[in-house]
Amino acid sequence: MNHDTDSLQEAGSPYFPPSIDCLAVEGMFVLGARRLTEEALDELAKHFELCDACGAKFVGGVPESPSSKPPSVNLTSRLVQEVLDRVKERPQCESLRLIAGQGLVAHQETLSDFDGQLAPGQRLQGKSRLFVVEERIGYGEFTETYAARQVSEDGIDGRDLGRRAVIKIPSVAEDMSSDAAMERLHLLRSLIQVHAQQLQNLAGLPEVAGIVDCGEYVHWLRDRSTASTFVAYEFVEGLELATYMAEHHCPTEQFCGLSKAADFAHWARMLAKGVLHIHNRLLLHGDICPRNILVTPDGHAVFVDVGESLFREVMNGAKAFSGNFYRAPEGIGAPSSDLFSLGGVLYFLATGKQPIGFGHNDKETLKREITFKIKEANPRLYQDDAGVADVIAMCLRRRDRIQHASQLLRDIDTFWPTPASILDELKSLDDPAATLDASGCSMYLSTARSYIRSLHQILTDMSKGVFDANGGARDIRSDAYALLSTLGVGDEFITVSLPAFWYPDNIGINGRFLSMCRNAAARGASIKRVFLIDERLSDPHLQQIVAAQLEAVADIEPSLRPNFAVRYVLMSADERRRRVANGRHFGLLAKGNECIAMSPEYDSNDLLVSLRFRSGPRQVDGLREAFEDIWSNSRPLVDLCFPTDSLTLDMLDKTG
């Protein structure tokens, strides 16, 4: 045997470079099995003639007994047999025949389905770390995934540092030609360097398995090889989200969704914060789905495979993506695409099912379908809080989708607030305010001061019984939702309402405001509403508005439906205008001894521009009497029937 290291390295190149751990020689055999070219077999035979470790183990003429320690890695029976068939006719491969006759054949029971690009025991040199492959743990359409351990670079084998990593490499489709594969692997190699630098921005985020290192390896195709790139991520000890849910939130054989709204809110809030932190680092995840969310033993969700979508984009070629129901219809490119995917995950948490079949552009139809499917799969969750459907629908819209994770968090906190005093909330700002102040960043400090002054003015106005919700439609809605979320047993919300208030571009036909009313009634609050309707039934969207109101009532448990009463009055357009001009279009929120009046304001196109909230005797006096006067002359909304409107007729059947 030749002990010269340089000769060994020279003989090993390019098929078996010195980065391969010769002591894990079974891994060498797997490499040989994958590379069934004539030259590869010759090179493998040459390696065994030169390598002391391999020679001592396999070429020394002392067969290993079947009772000796089996190989420490998994091999593929099919590949073993394929190599044996090839070497039978090659006298120069005596070393390979000895391997087959001794180590491998003696331990056939250890052979299993391993057919990866990387071999167990193979070393991968990153830019700053050295890794030793342990086993393949995943294989997808565009990537192969391996578990590895980090080792130091001193000594022949390296000292195990006790840290594990996950190695990602590209996977080449079986029907892709070698030329096309070479082209795409080269493209990926050039892109991944920049991409890896960007992924370094995720360092320190506990909600994300960050990148550890990247480097190159030899990727073998059918008839050639080329340099390609691997990416090493932090190894996360945990269960995939679906597995975790099946083990911890599944009273039956199959996970059918979380049964309590509080549990849904907990997971929705945790996942939304994780996405927010990724986006704050100016990155997208690109492939959010239950498979790419691991739950640690202490119950924390960690996003894995951040940025792996680059492998998919490059290695996919011209093929259409298939089977990824969590992927936004427009593809990857903006934070809203991640929020669509997150909405799919939230739908899974609500139903236990994949988000299939939500291809509607109309947001009202989408909300109705999501509601139906949640009620069908998990009625207990929907009865607990109908807001689950609203949060999911906001994410799964094709148009007018929520654009920022902070908006999603705000709506989650509105539906499921965490009780805290105003002073406690303000104290929680002390640390970030001190950090920002110490940073000395004048531009951020100037912006922060502006927000603080604005908050100071809002709190001052509220202390005097004044609050105006204005700005865009989303801001007005969110402020209104927050007030309704506090209503419970014994509280009231009475309104004299115009159909215009519920237009899609205003508060929304079947949106979160209506869900908040439904939830308040289900909690024991009294919701009473009188619609002032044009006697010609000519108000835009009137049929859909009526249907949504009736459906909200029908959604409540029968014993609680009296808490939610909706009626109407028909009048001429002129009379309605006079009533509105005289302040007879209003809402009144009553919680204990607190009363707040709500007055909508519209522009000339019936667009809601402000909701004015006022408290105090002068502001609320007379409103309850005015409401009772209109209420006494109204009729149940269920009596208002549109003969051509099958949806409303269906709601009449439900509530009749």
Per residue in 33-55, pLDDT (tens digit) is: 444 455 555 565 566 566 665 55
Query: Exposed, middle or buried by CB within 10 Å (0-12, 13-18, 19+), for 132?
Result: buried
Q: Which helix (H) or strand (E) holds 239?
A: strand 239-240
The pLDDT value given to residue 39: 57
Per-residue pLDDT band at 583 (split at 50, 70, 90): confident
Please state, in angstroms and rounded to a whole number, the distance separating the CA atoms of residues 445 and 450: 9
Q: Which helix (H) or strand (E) holds 78?
A: helix 77-87
Please state, in angstroms and rounded to a whole number, the distance separating the CA atoms of residues 610 and 599: 8
Task: Locate all alpha helices (DSSP H) within 227-361, ordered by sequence.
Answer: 241-248, 261-280, 309-315, 335-351
CATH superfamily of 465-655: Endonuclease Chain A (3.30.870.10)
Please state, in angstroms and rounded to a whole number, the distance separating the CA atoms of residues 573 and 590: 30
243-253: pLDDT as tens digits: 999 999 887 77
Beta-bridge mates of residue 529: 495, 566
Among the four given CATH numbers 3.90.280.10, 2.60.40.10, 1.10.2020.10, 3.30.200.20, the one describing domain 123-234: 3.30.200.20
The pLDDT value given to residue 122: 85
How are strands ordered across the β-sheet holding 635-636? 466-470, 608-615, 594-602, 587-591, 492-497, 526-534, 564-571, 635-636
The pLDDT value given to residue 610: 93
5-31: pLDDT as tens digits: 343 334 333 434 433 344 334 444 444
Rounded to 5 degrees, φ, ψ at 649 are -60, -40
Tokens of 461: 């106005």
- Looking at per-residue pLDDT, the higher value among 137 and 347 belongs to 347
Q: Where are the domains of the chain?
A: 5-110, 123-234, 252-415, 465-655
The pLDDT value given to residue 103: 42
pLDDT over 70, % of the chain: 77
- Looking at per-residue pLDDT, the higher value among 288 and 49 belongs to 288
HEC profile for 580-621?
HHCCCCCEEEEECCEEEEEEEEECCCCCEEEEEEEECHHHHC
The answer on pLDDT for 70 being more than 60 is no
The answer on pLDDT for 307 being more than 70 is yes
Contact, 212 vs 233, CB < 8 A?
yes
Please state, in angstroms and rounded to a whole number, the distance separating the CA atoms of residues 258 and 265: 10
Same fold, 123-234 and 465-655: no
Give the angle 186-191-197 at the CA atoms, nearest 5°: 140
Tokens of 465: 């019984």
Contact, 346 vs 391, CB < 8 A?
yes
Give the angle 576-581-583 at the CA atoms, nearest 5°: 100
The pLDDT value given to residue 524: 95
**What's the pTM value of the predicted model, to 2 decimals?**
0.79
Pairing of strands 160-170, 143-151: antiparallel
Do you find a cis peptide bond into 600, omega within 30 degrees of 0?
Answer: no
The CATH architecture of the domain made up of 252-415 is: Orthogonal Bundle (1.10)
The answer on pLDDT for 242 being more than 90 is yes
- Contacts of residue 152, Cβ cutoff 8 Å, sequence gap at least 6: 130, 158, 159, 161
Give the angle 460-425-507 at the CA atoms, nearest 5°: 65
Please compute, for residue 587, the number of CA atoms within 13 A of its CA located in the half-sphere on the CB side: 22
Residue 199 amino acid letter: L
Per-residue pLDDT band at 83 (split at 50, 70, 90): low
The pLDDT value given to residue 167: 95
The pLDDT value given to residue 221: 83
Q: Is the torsion defined by CA of 36, 39, 45, 50 positive or negative?
A: negative
Residue 484 amino acid letter: L
The pLDDT value given to residue 176: 86
The answer on pLDDT for 648 being more than 80 is no
Q: What is the mean pLDDT of the chain?
A: 81
154-188: pLDDT as tens digits: 544 445 566 899 999 998 887 888 888 899 998 88
User: DSSP secondary-structure letter at 558?
Assistant: G
Contact, 351 vs 378, CB < 8 A?
yes
The pLDDT value given to residue 74: 35
The pLDDT value given to residue 73: 33
The pLDDT value given to residue 77: 42
Angle at which helix 5-12 crosses helix 38-50, to 10 degrees, equals 170
- Looking at per-residue pLDDT, the higher value among 580 and 627 belongs to 627
Contact, 100 vs 80, CB < 8 A?
yes
* Strand positions, DSSP E, 130-221: 130-139, 143-151, 160-170, 211-220
Please compute, for residue 97, the number of CA atoms within 13 A of its CA located in the half-sphere on the CB side: 10
